[in-house]
């Protein structure tokens, strides 16, 4: 059995690629920064999967991780984790990966890059993708490059920008980029080309443009999205004065994406992204979804709560805050529930997203808007699945920092705060029921942090006490419904 490595298996594309590789008969070694992120994936229990903790900045260790792999997929992007320095960071990581792959005897590398014309007019984002291609090929290993434009799929960053803009803005004043030609591709077709390229020797060392069967401008794609959402026709007014920076702030306020991610994406929208050749179609034939079919498939996945991966799952998970040596404020509450522990834990895991926070949702919404205004994620990231949560996943402006099934869920705040905040739930069996302990911890940063805690403390009785009572009611409902543990 051919063994392949996947760097970036916790990301949007990598998380969907691995199960397809397994289905195609490959053994897969996942090289990830946080192995715990994959523990809840069903495919992670496949005997042909290895999950290896790998630091891409440690070339020596990385070489050992790649040893024994015939090929390696490089699906790493630092735009979320490295901020404005992502281009330099990506270039260094790609160079180190190429050196490690050469030392390990890897025979080929496969990379998903960005579609667009070559030359000095490229945006920083697309230029960075080209630099990564160059670095990956720097040691002489054949690199297969697939270049894609907008990827349409449930949970993709491009799709979420498009959906939120169309849903929330019946009238849009937009930059001139809305008339830029684009050739989107469905995420299932991207995965099909990646798996197919591995099986097709003729793709080794080649650069291929991949796209769907249609070329549309962004204005037309928005029109199709509105029709598939069942909305009235959107009025779109292009103006020449909106710069990519201003566009990114607008995207930040209206969509789940932060300004740091929106800015490079918005800058890239000025470049035409159309396939210049279709050689890949004859080498790897597959039915290509139109833009309408791609959007419909993605919306159906969302409606069925069957989103496999989400853009917000990428990025590092910081270590637990060091609570020692400083003032730590605590709001600790507990309640006894006459229901089994698994029911309480299931109720806890429903927090956030469309379900809300069990109490004072209007306060949560206000806090979310305040966070968006100062550059935070707000509440619009939602959650990938309404029931299931896993390590590293986003829950509105929190992220899962620790999870022990039926025992503990720890959330770390990612909203803009003058300090560090953690919200933790612990479930302990007690007789025929259980005890739910809820702890809100805050380590202030300077005087502003102290003022913040004392300003919001009066609301805790409403928010946290109400949340505890809400979880209790939900737990009793779950236990009474006859749901299996």
pLDDT at residue 18 greater than cutoff 90:
yes
| Rounded Cα–Cα distance for residues 34 and 15 (Å) | 13
Confidence of residue 376 (pLDDT cuts 50, 70, 90): confident
Averaging pLDDT over each range in 19-23, 160-164, 361-365, 477-481, which range is the top one? 19-23
Same domain for 162 and 240, yes or no, is: yes
Same domain for 270 and 387, yes or no, is: no
Is position 285 within any domain?
A: yes
Is position 404 within any domain?
A: yes
Same domain for 191 and 265, yes or no, is: yes
Same domain for 301 and 398, yes or no, is: no
Is position 421 within any domain?
A: yes
Closest CA to 23 of 189, 145, 191: 191
| Rounded Cα–Cα distance for residues 159 and 224 (Å) | 12
Same domain for 271 and 371, yes or no, is: no
Same domain for 84 and 137, yes or no, is: yes
Is position 459 within any domain?
A: yes
Q: What is the pLDDT of residues 407-456, one digit of tens each?
A: 999 999 989 999 889 999 999 999 889 999 999 999 888 788 888 888 99
Same domain for 131 and 274, yes or no, is: yes
Q: Given its phi and psi angles, is residue 190 left (phi above 0), alpha (psi -120 to 50 degrees) or beta?
A: alpha
* 5-14, 165-174, 249-258, 429-438: segment of lowest average pLDDT: 249-258
| Rounded Cα–Cα distance for residues 336 and 315 (Å) | 37
Same domain for 373 and 420, yes or no, is: yes
Domain ranges, residue 429 = 329-480
Is position 110 within any domain?
A: yes
Averaging pLDDT over each range in 42-46, 179-183, 288-292, which range is the top one? 288-292
How many structural domains compose the chain? 2
Contacts of 172 (CB under 8 A, 6+ apart): 165, 222, 234, 235, 236, 237
Q: What is the mean pLDDT of residues 36-50?
A: 90
pLDDT at 121 (0 to 100): 65
> CB atoms < 10 A from the CB of 249, how many?
16
Closest CA to 177 of 113, 267, 250: 267
Indicate which CATH number applies to the domain containing 453.
Answer: 3.30.530.20
Angle between helix 291-303 and helix 187-199 axes, rounded to 10 deg:
110
Confidence of residue 259 (pLDDT cuts 50, 70, 90): low
Same domain for 127 and 203, yes or no, is: yes
Q: Give Cα 139 distance to the centre of its chain.
A: 31
| pLDDT mean across residues, the chain | 87
């Amino acid at each position: 059995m051919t063994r392949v490595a996947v760097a970036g298996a916790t990301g949007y594309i990598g998380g969907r690629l691995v199960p397809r590789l397994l289905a195609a008969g490959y053994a897969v070694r996942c090289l990830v920064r946080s192995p715990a992120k994959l523990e809840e994936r069903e495919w992670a229990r496949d005997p042909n999967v290895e999950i290896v903790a790998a630091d891409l900045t440690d070339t020596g260790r990385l070489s050992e991780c790649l040893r024994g792999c015939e090929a390696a997929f490089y699906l790493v992007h630092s735009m979320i984790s490295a901020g404005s320095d992502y281009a330099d960071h990506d270039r260094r990581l790609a160079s180190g990966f190429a050196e490690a792959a050469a030392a390990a005897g890897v025979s080929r590398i496969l990379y998903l890059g960005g579609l667009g014309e070559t030359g000095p007019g490229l945006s920083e984002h697309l230029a960075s993708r080209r630099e990564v291609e160059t670095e990956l090929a720097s040691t002489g290993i054949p690199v297969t490059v697939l270049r894609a434009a907008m990827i349409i799929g449930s949970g993709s960053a491009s799709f979420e920008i498009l959906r939120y803009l169309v849903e929330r803005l019946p009238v849009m004043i937009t930059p001139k980029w809305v008339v830029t030609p684009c050739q989107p591709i469905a995420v299932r077709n991207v995965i099909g080309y990646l798996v197919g390229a591995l099986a097709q020797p003729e793709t080794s060392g080649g650069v291929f443009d991949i796209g769907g069967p249609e070329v549309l401008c962004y204005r037309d794609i928005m029109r199709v999205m509105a029709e598939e959402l069942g909305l009235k026709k959107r009025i779109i007014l292009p103006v020449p004065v909106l710069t990519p920076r201003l566009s990114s702030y607008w995207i930040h306020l209206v969509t789940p994406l932060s300004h740091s991610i929106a800015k490079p994406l918005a800058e890239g929208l000025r470049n035409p992204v159309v396939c210049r050749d279709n050689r890949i179609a004859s080498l790897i034939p597959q039915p290509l979804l139109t833009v309408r079919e791609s959007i419909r498939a993605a919306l159906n996945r969302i409606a069925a709560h069957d989103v496999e991966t989400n853009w917000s799952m990428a990025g590092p998970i910081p270590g637990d805050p060091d609570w020692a040596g400083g003032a730590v404020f605590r709001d600790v509450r507990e309640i006894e529930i006459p229901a089994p522990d698994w029911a309480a834990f299931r109720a806890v895991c429903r927090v956030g997203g469309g379900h809300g926070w069990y109490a004072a949702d209007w306060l949560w919404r206000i806090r979310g808007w305040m966070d968006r205004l100062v550059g935070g994620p707000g509440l619009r990231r939602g959650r990938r699945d309404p029931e299931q949560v896993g390590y590293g996943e986003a829950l509105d402006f929190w992220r899962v920092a620790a999870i022990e099934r039926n025992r503990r869920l720890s959330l770390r705040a990612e909203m803009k705060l003058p300090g560090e905040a953690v919200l933790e739930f612990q479930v302990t069996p007690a007789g025929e029921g259980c005890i739910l302990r809820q702890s809100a911890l805050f380590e202030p940063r300077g005087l502003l942090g102290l003022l913040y805690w004392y300003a919001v403390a009066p609301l805790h009785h409403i928010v946290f006490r109400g949340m505890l009572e809400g979880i209790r009611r939900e737990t009793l409902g779950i236990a009474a419904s006859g749901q299996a543990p």
